[in-house]
Structures are given as structure tokens and as C-alpha cells.
Amino acid sequence: MPPQTLEKRVARLEQRMTTLEQLPARVDALALQISQLRDEMHVEFSAVRDEVRAGDERVIATLREEMHTEFSAIRSEIKTGDERVVTTLREDIATVARMLRDELLGAINAAKVEVMGQSRTLYEDMHAKFSIVEEGRQSRGKRRSRE
């Protein structure tokens, strides 16, 4: 490259100096922009945090509501199931009670028939023995009167 003239070199140097003189203002402007960006980011991050908290609170509230609804449904199902169990048990107990009553009545009637039969036999035996005793008295009485 051919050497440059002094004039050109001075002009270039002046141009560079002008650019360097503008540099602090540009740095200040950049610092201001960075400061503004920091402030905006702070505000935005705070807003995001608030939205997240609000979202968390909504999620928690929704979950609580859903859990309450589900637990109520489960309680209702358990109660219905318990009522069905109680009803079934009552029916089973009533059926068994009827069967036992019928069985006991049958056993009582069978025992009654047996006792009545034995009583009838004893009565007939007693009646026969009284008849024999009466015949014996009568035949003694006839013997005494002959004597």
C-alpha cells in the first residue's frame, strides 16, 4: 500500500476522534437502555411470579374442589353400599329366622305328637290296670259274700 498523505491521515484521525468522542454518549445511552431493560425484566419477572402464584392457587383450589367432589361421591357410594349390605343382611337374617322358626315348630309338633302318644299309652295302661284292680275287688266281694 502506498503511503498516505498527511492530510488524509489527519482527516482519518479526526474522523476516528469524532467517533471516539461519540463513544461515551453511546455508552451512556447503552447503559440507560440496559437499565431500562433491567427494570422491564424485573417488572415482567414479578408479573410472571404473580401469575404463577395465582395459577398455583387456582390449581390448588381446583384440586381441592375436585377432591371434595370425589370424596363426597365415594362417601355416597360407601353409604349406598352399606345400606345394600344392611338390607341384604336383614333379608338373610329374616330368612334364617323363618327357617329356624319353621324347624322349631316342626320339632315341637313332632315332640307333642310323641308325648301325646306316650300319654295315651300310659292312660290306656293305667285304665287297663284300674280295670284289673276293679275286677279283683268285685271278685273278692263276691267271694266274701259267698262265705
Question: What string of pLDDT tens digits covers the 147 residues of the chain?
Answer: 678 888 888 888 888 888 888 888 888 999 999 999 999 999 999 999 988 888 888 888 898 999 999 989 888 888 888 888 888 989 999 999 999 999 999 999 999 999 999 999 999 999 999 899 888 888 876 666 665
3-state secondary structure of 35: helix
3-state secondary structure of 2: coil
3-state secondary structure of 4: coil
Per the listing, cell 352399606 goes with 82
End-to-end CA distance of the chain: 196
Give the sign of the dihedral formed by CA 112, CA 117, CA 119, CA 120: positive
Helix (H) or strand (E) segment spanning residue 43: helix 6-146
Helix (H) or strand (E) segment spanning residue 1: none
Give me the half-sphere count of Cα atoms (radius 13 Å) on the Cβ side of residue 6.
0
pTM attached to this predicted model: 0.40
Per the listing, cell 290296670 goes with 129
